[in-house]
């Protein structure tokens, strides 16, 4: 996980403080959604698989063109790996991702009749789809209240004292223990978007943060000159 140094706080956090954090985030982002462009479970799986170590903006630029010609596993297989590469060459690790997209498309066609399987176990058997990708898909489609721990979620969770574990999987487990059940379905998106636009890795906007008074990291970041006042 990258970004500025993240402090480690005692855990578990105070329940009232956690409630207030998510109540405020819910107030300003009542219906948070992924910023990836998709229009079906298949295009969502492909978009999320392509987004590994890439920005949503760069993926959307590529998939806007790609999905215009190949938005089903049948069409993707017809395009083939070499045909796919020019559409995604602007995205990092594009050759490996092209192999995975074609391979997962073939499995979806051969094993699932052209429909993406929507269980965690089945999704994680698809090439290029690990636990984090499966969590994003299941959460976005409203199938499972999953929390995919990417760099943003990892950083924000630590700064807010919601987690103090050293690995994404353990942070995920801690979040499931402390996030109130009513907020779990959208917690993934709230933490990602807060980390993407406010609690950034470098120079977080503490002065413009609606939960800064609930953040145990604010004083240290401000004192060190690492945050915007």
Angstrom CA distances, 9 to 14, 166, 211, stand at 12, 12, 17
Measured distance CA(78)–CA(95) in Å, rounded:
17
DSSP state of 145: -
Find out whether 132 and 149 touch, Cβ atoms under 8 Å. yes
Q: How far, in Å, CA of 101 to CA of 99, rounded?
A: 6
User: Active-site positions?
Assistant: 132, 150
Residues in the chain: 229
């Amino acid at each position: 996980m990258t970004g500025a140094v993240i402090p480690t706080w005692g855990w578990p956090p105070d329940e009232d403080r956690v409630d207030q954090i998510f109540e405020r985030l819910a107030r300003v982002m009542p219906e948070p959604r992924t910023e990836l462009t998709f229009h079906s479970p298949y295009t969502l799986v492909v978009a999320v698989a392509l987004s590994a170590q890439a920005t949503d903006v760069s993926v959307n630029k590529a998939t806007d063109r790609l999905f215009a010609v190949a938005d089903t596993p049948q069409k993707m297989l017809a395009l083939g790996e070499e045909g796919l590469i020019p559409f995604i060459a602007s995205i990092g690790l594009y050759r490996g991702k092209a192999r995975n997209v074609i391979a997962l498309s073939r499995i979806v066609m051969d094993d699932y009749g052209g429909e993406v399987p929507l269980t965690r176990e089945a999704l994680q058997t698809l090439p290029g789809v690990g636990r984090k990708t499966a969590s994003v898909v299941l959460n976005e489609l409203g199938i499972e209240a999953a929390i995919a721990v990417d760099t943003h979620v990892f950083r924000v969770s630590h700064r807010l004292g919601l987690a103090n574990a050293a690995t994404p999987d353990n942070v995920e487990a801690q979040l499931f223990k402390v996030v109130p059940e009513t907020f779990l379905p959208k917690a993934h998106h709230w933490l990602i978007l807060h980390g993407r636009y406010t609690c950034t890795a470098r120079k977080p906007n503490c002065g413009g943060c609606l939960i800064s008074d609930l953040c145990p990291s604010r004083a240290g970041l401000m004192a060190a000159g690492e945050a915007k006042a």
